[in-house]
Structure formats: C-alpha cells, structure tokens
Structure 1
C-alpha cells in the first residue's frame, strides 16, 4: 500500500483529515522536533502536518515532511474562498496553482505569475473522482445543498481576500480569470514538492464567496468545507489503490526488461539523452561510454531498483519525467507488460 502525506494550514482542517484515520500516533521529526500525527487509512500509512497559514510556512513544512516521510503521494487539504462557478461547500482540486503576488512594481504593477501544475496522475484521478461522484458517500458532515466538485486552477497569495471591492479581488479577476478559488498556501506547497518529484495536488473546500466572509465563517462554513475537502481527498486515495491493483508487479525482472526496451526506444542515445536521468535526480557519473545504450539503460535500472543511481532519483521520479516527454508512456509500459 501507499505512504500518503497530507498537509493542512489550520487545526480544523487537520481534525477533518484525522477523522478518517485509525491507530493515530504522535510522530516527531528527529532533527527539528516537528510534531506530526501518523495513522492508517485502508492499510495506507498517512502522515498529517499542520503547516500554519501562508506560502512560506507551507513550503518550509512541505519540504521537511517529504524528506522525512518519503511519501508516494502528497495532498494539501483545506478551505478556500470561492471566486467563480462555486458555492459554499463545493470542493476544488487544483489543476494548477497560480502564485499571483509576484511582479514588477513600476509606474504600474506588472504581474509575473508563478504558476505550478499539479501532478498529472493525481489530476487525472481527481477528474475521475469528480465524474463518479462517489466521494459524497464519505462525507462526515451534513450539507444543506449537495456539494459539487471541480478540477480547476486555484490562486494562492499572502493575504486574506475578504471583499469583492478590494484591490486584490480586482487583480484576481483581471489576471487570474481562470482561477475558481483563492487561498494562501498552495503555491509554496507545490513549489516545495517539485524538487522531490512528488505526486502533489491541492484539495480545497469552499468556505466563503469572498463577500460576507465573516458571516459565512460564523455560520460554520469552514469546518464543513474542510470536511468536504477531506472526503474528496480520501476518495482519491481509494482510487489510487484501485488503479494500482490493475498494474503488474513493477519489481519483477520481467517488468524491468520491458521498461528497458521502452526506454531504449524512447531514448536510444542512453540515459544521458535529453538529460532525462539528470532531470529525474540521477547521477550521470555512473555511466560509461564503453557500454552500448541498451546495456546502459539495463544497468541504470538495476542500480535504481537496488537504491542507487543518485541520491534524488527514484523509479517514480524517472517515470514522472518521462511522462512529461511522452504522455502515454506509463500506460503503454504497464498495460503491455
């Protein structure tokens, strides 16, 4: 089964996630003393981290937790303000997160948006969960209206946007018109996950519609939105495990031979072609020019399965990078094995 890291900004979001876990225990980071909760969900090991508000805190805790826990999948679960096409209680999974604060402050402000895509795999699973609608069966709170789910862009900044008359709201409408929600941690979260080649995505429940935010919060919209987001997240985890059952055992020699054949076709000049090994976090100094390219690939994959090949590379990071070059690569390798 999988190792899942789930981040939250607020305690109420943390509790919404924790409600799905059993055998919850305290876990402490050996170097920093950071305190986590670790529990079990459907045989998956889940670590929960409360980052606090803001992209900087989120990035700091994300990198630390990924390095410590080495998860297979990483989620940020919490609440957000709705910008368009949503109502209170709906859930938005991020197709991408738009960092909207960056820019050049000249005679007029010139935006330099910092846009980070979510994991392609998790985005596809989120779309599947949205279409099927089974996630509502995991809801642990009552909703006055049936919540809907979207897989759309989310904007992330460093301020709470609480009025549709504010400068920030006008800015978002002008420069982030595809964003359906706004929050304060997602950009830092995805930026920090990126160097680890982690499958990462945000899942946000809509707790307010910008205007009348205080009244919405007072009416209990935040815990309800957090619970809805947690339900969607855990249905995504359910679907991750279903998809994994369909795949062959990737640890077998048969699969590794199939993988080498595919890699030799895609990168006939060897693991150094297009910097694919280096982009995945690998050490190119392990390769020798004397070996033929197929042998280079076979030796590289064998080293990788034995824990070598470079400090940052893994089979997941390699396949993610290849997926970026050849979108159908993973399905072709797995389904034809």
Structure 2
C-alpha cells in the first residue's frame, strides 16, 4: 500500500484527519525533534503534520516531512474562505494554487502571480470523487446543508481576508478571478513538494465567505469545514488504494526485462526524453549517449536496482512519473 503525508495548519484540522486513523503512534524526527502522528488507514501508512499558519511555515514543514517520510502522496487538508460559487461546508480540491502576493510595487502594483498546478494524477482522482459523491458518506459531523465539492483553483497569500470591501478582496476579484477559495498555506506547500516529485494537492473545506467571517467561525463552521475536507481527502485515498500497484519484487529479472522493454518503447530517445529520469528524482549526470537507447535504459535500470541512479529516485517514483505520461503503463508490464 501507499505512504501518505497529510498536513494541516490548525489543530482542529489535525483532529479531523486523525479521526480516520487507527494504530496511532507518536513519530519523532531525530534530526529536528519534530513530532508527528502516524497511523493506518485501509492498509496505507499515514503521517500527519501540523504546520501552523502561513506559506513560509507550510513550506518549511512540507520539505522536512517529505524528506523524513518519503511519501507517495501528499495532501494539505484544512479550511479556507470562499471567494465565489461556493457555500459554507463545501469542499474545494485544488486544480492549481495561485500565489497572489508577488509583484512589482511601481507607480502602481504589477502582479507577478506564482501559479503552481497540483498533481495531475490527484486532480483526476479528485474529479472522480466529486462526480461519484461517495465522500459525503465519510463525513463525521452533521451539516446544516448538503455540501458540494469542486476541483478548482485556490488562491494563497499571507493575510486573512475578512471583508469583501477590502483592498485584497478587490485585487483577488481582478487578478485571480478563477479562484473559488483562499487560504494561507497552499503556495508554500506546493512549492516545497515540487522538488521531491511527490504527488501533491490541497483539499479545503469552506468555513466562511469572507464577509462576516468572525460570525461564521463562532457558529462552528471551521470544525464542520475541516471534517468535510478530511472526508473528501480520505475518499481520494480510498480511490488511490483501489488503483494501487502491487509492485513486483525488485530482484525479479523477468520484471526488469519487461520494464526496460516498455521504457524503450515509450521513451525511444532514452532516459533524457521528456525529462522522465530527472522528474522521477534521478541524477542526470549518470546518463550517457553511448550504445543504443535500449541499452541506455538497461544500464540505468541496473544502476537503480543496485542502489544508484540518484538519491531521490526509486522504482516506484519512476513508475509514478511514467504513469503521469501513460496512465495504462502499469497494466502493460504486470
């Protein structure tokens, strides 16, 4: 099964995620002293991290946790403010995150939006979960209205926007008109996950609609929104589990031959084609142009099985990246 990292900004979001796990235990990062919770869900190993609010803290904890846990999938789960088309209790999975605070402050402010797409694989799973609607059966709290779900852009900044009369709200409507929600961690989260080639996505429950934020929070909207987001996230994990690949023994010569043959077909120009080796975390300095393309693939796969190829690459990370390009790839080699 998979190793899954779930991050939250707030304690109440942490508790909403924790409610889904069994066999909970405390996990400590030996080099930094960071304290995590680790548990099991449907056979998957899940690590929970509370980052605190803000993109900087989010990025810091994301990189640290990924380096420590080496997950296959990474989620940021929590609450967000609704900008358009959503109501309190709805859930938004990020198709992309728009970092909206960057820009050049000249005679007028000139935006330089920092837009980062979520994992294509997880975006596709989120769309499937939205269509099927089974995630609502996992909600552990009572909702006053039937929640809906969306797979849409989310804006992320460094400030709480609490009025639709504010300068920030007007800015968002003008420059981030496709964003349906806003939070304070998503930009740092996806930026930090990107170098590790981990599949990453945000899942946010809508806890307020910007105006009257304090009243909505006082009415218990945050715990409900967090519980709804957690339910959506764990239904995504259910779908991941259904499609999980049972990877063959990495010492099996037969599998290695199948893998090399398929790689030579899909990437006939060799490991450098479409940056597939680099995207999977491999060290491109080991690649050579000598020999046929098939022999190049054979050589790098042999190095990978002997523990070389780059510190961040594995058979699983390589197969996950290939699956991004060719969704039916796995079934072709098993």
User: How many Å apart are 1:333 and its aligned residue?
Assistant: 4.7
Tell me the SS of whatever aligns to 2:80: strand
In 1: Cα distance, 2:290 partner to 2:248 partner: 32
Residue 331, structure 1, aligned to residue 328, structure 2? yes
TM-aligned CA distance change 1:274 to 1:148, over 3 Å: closer
Residues 1-337 of structure 1 mapped to structure 2, 5 A cutoff: 1-244=1-244, 249=248, 251=250, 253-273=253-273, 275-319=275-319, 321-322=321-322, 327=325, 329-335=326-332, 337=334
Q: 1:261 to 1:312 in 2, by over 3 A?
A: same
SS at match of 2:308: coil
TM-score (norm 1): 0.93
Q: CA deviation at 1:217?
A: 0.1
Tell me how far apart the structure 2 counterparts of residues 80 and 274 of structure 1 sit (CA, whole Å).
Answer: 36
CA distance in 1, matches of 2:151, 2:261: 35
User: Larger deviation: 10-19 or 252-261?
Assistant: 252-261
Q: Displacement of 1:67 after TM fit? A: 0.3
1:300 to partner: Cα distance: 1.3
Distance 1:146 1:275 in 2: 44
Residues 230 and 273 from structure 1, CA distance in 2 versus in 1: closer, same or farther, beyond 3 angstroms? closer
Q: CA deviation at 1:44?
A: 1.1
| Gaps in structure 1 of 5+ consecutive residues | none
The 1:14–1:300 alpha-carbon spacing in structure 2 relative to 1, beyond 3 Å, is same
Give distance in 2, aligned partners of 1:330 and 1:258. 17
Instruction: For residue 171 of structure 1, give the secondary structure of its aligned residue in structure 2.
Output: helix
Contact residue 290 and residue 296 of structure 2 kept, 8 A: no
SS of the residue corresponding to residue 327 of structure 2 reads helix
Number of aligned residues: 333
Please tell me the root mean square deviation across aligned C-alpha atoms, in Å. 1.9
Assess, with a 3 A threshold, how the Cα gap between structure 1 residues 316 and 171 changes in structure 2: closer, same or farther: farther
Task: Provide, for residues 113-150 of structure 1, a one-character-per-residue CA deviation record: whole Å limited to 9, x for no partner.
Answer: 00111011111111111111111111100001111111
Shift of 1:2: 1.0
* Contact 2:123–2:201, Cα closer than 8 Å, also in 1: yes
Q: CA deviation at 1:322?
A: 4.7
- How has the CA–CA distance of structure 1 residues 118 and 275 changed in structure 2, closer, same or farther, with 3 Å as cutoff? closer
Q: Would the alpha carbon gap of residues 131 and 32 (structure 1) be closer, same or farther in structure 2, given more than 3 Å must change?
A: same
- Displacement, 1:277? 2.3
Residue segments in structure 2 that go unaligned for 5+ positions in a row: none
Structure 2-normalised TM-score? 0.94
Classify the secondary structure of the residue corresponding to 2:74: strand
Q: Go from structure 1 to structure 2 and tell me whether the alpha carbon gap of 1:172 and 1:28 turns closer, same or farther (over 3 Å shift).
A: same
**C-alpha spacing 1:319/1:113, structure 2 compared with 1 (3 Å):** farther
Q: Secondary structure at the match of 1:4?
A: strand
Q: Give the Cα–Cα distance (whole angstroms) in 1 for the partners of residues 211 and 179 of structure 2.
A: 17
Counterparts of 1:268 and 1:308, CA distance in 2: 22
Which one is further off, 264-273 or 127-136?
Answer: 264-273
Q: 1:281 to 1:178 in 2, by over 3 A?
A: same
Q: Is the 1:98–1:154 Cα contact (8 Å) retained in structure 2?
A: yes
- Given that 2:255 and 2:333 are in contact with CA atoms closer than 8 Å, whether structure 1 keeps it comes out as no
